[in-house]
Amino acid sequence: MDLNYSKEELAFRDEVRGWLAANLPQDLRDKIANYDELGREDLLRWHRILAKKGWVAPAWPKEWGGTGWNVVQRYIFEEECGFAGTPPLIPFGLSMCGPVLLRFGTDAQKKRFLPRIYNGDDFWCQGYSEPGSGSDLASLKTKASREGDHYIVNGQKIWTTLGHVADWIFCLVRTDSNMAKKQEGISFLLIDMKTPGITVRPLILMDGGHEVNEVFFTDVRVPVENLVYEEGKGWTVAKYLLGHERMNTGRIGGSKRELAKLKEFVAKQPGDDGKPLSEDVRFRDRISRVEVELMALEITNLRFLDQMRRTGQPPGADVSMLKIRGTEIQQSLTELMMQAVGPLAQPFAPSNGDAGFDSFTAGLAPRYCNFRKTSIYAGSNEIQRNIISKMTLGL
């Protein structure tokens, strides 16, 4: 097992790091640093900068705009983006729907959707969770009945991230309710959000932010040509998609950036005794624990990379470890940030987008609240532990 980067990989890392430093717009860099809200146009602006460079979809085949990078290069790129503080690339099109179409889509679907996803012409969202069907996704109840050349969709999705600004949604729907196993009879549909019968209702979060939504479908007509793979085989597609989602939830580069920011802050922030918090033994110990856990996570990630580099095969159920530890570390960092700032952490982010100390502290409380979701999305951490227990340990 080799957990070290080669000379060529280190040179590649330096190339990526230099390009990001030169091409990440300062206003977007400041928004990330100050935890300001990013709008649709902010997200698409960075998407299009990377698309112009040819780096927006590294894992895609070269014929569809991919870079041809190996798994280590792709990992380095993702972590350098996280450490540099780039806006996130919204995964629903690039990292979820795109790979699904490349694996299961028809030639017509690939030609229709992939170029628009790559160029940022279409903004996608995910229609999975429903009231009562979150971690137990296979219990979903949204129905699609075929009538001629269309499916008629009725039901509800919930916690739909950025559904209010999305052009398209990929949905799991039940096309057959008579199957013995609930995982059977589910299909995967691509739905235009402008289709009559779709209603999007905002779910305003406790910090006043509008990120997630309820989406209602009332007799929504979806062309049969928008069915991905086979009718009733949507669970196969869903499992493939979730594997891609979980591999990218560790966010080690982003956590390194936040850890560095935390250390810088506590070196200046006075504690109860008037001394910098960095001199408080107990607080320093908590930071050290998170740092050690982050280092261990990085080594674990490198083990997966080495396995993929040697075998050419994606990781199995063990990848859930990255999701569990990565999201728990992200949450721990937000908790330590809040404790360090104390009463200066305001409940709402500033609306004027001013940079500086006040903007930084005002963005912490909304970020803390928002990061409670990380241990739930892409399959809750409790479910991930069940997966490891069953698939890896054989319990």
What amino acid positions are annotated as catalytic residues?
245
Where does the chain show beta strands of DSSP type E?
A: 124-127, 143-147, 150-157, 168-174, 186-192, 198-204, 210-223, 227-228
Closest to 176 (Cα-Cα) out of 166, 192, 187, 189 = 187
State how far the Cα of 53 lies from the Cα of 378, in Å rounded to an integer.
Answer: 29
State how far the Cα of 306 lies from the Cα of 283, in Å rounded to an integer.
Answer: 35
State how far the Cα of 268 lies from the Cα of 278, in Å rounded to an integer.
Answer: 8
What Å distances lie between residue 155 and 145, 163, 166, 219, 231, CA to CA?
A: 12, 15, 18, 9, 18
- Joined together, the tokens standing for residue 18 give 């230099």
- Joined together, the tokens standing for residue 351 give 């609306």
Residue 360 near residue 346 (C-beta atoms within 8 A): no
Residue 272 near residue 266 (C-beta atoms within 8 A): no
State how far the Cα of 395 lies from the Cα of 378, in Å rounded to an integer.
Answer: 22
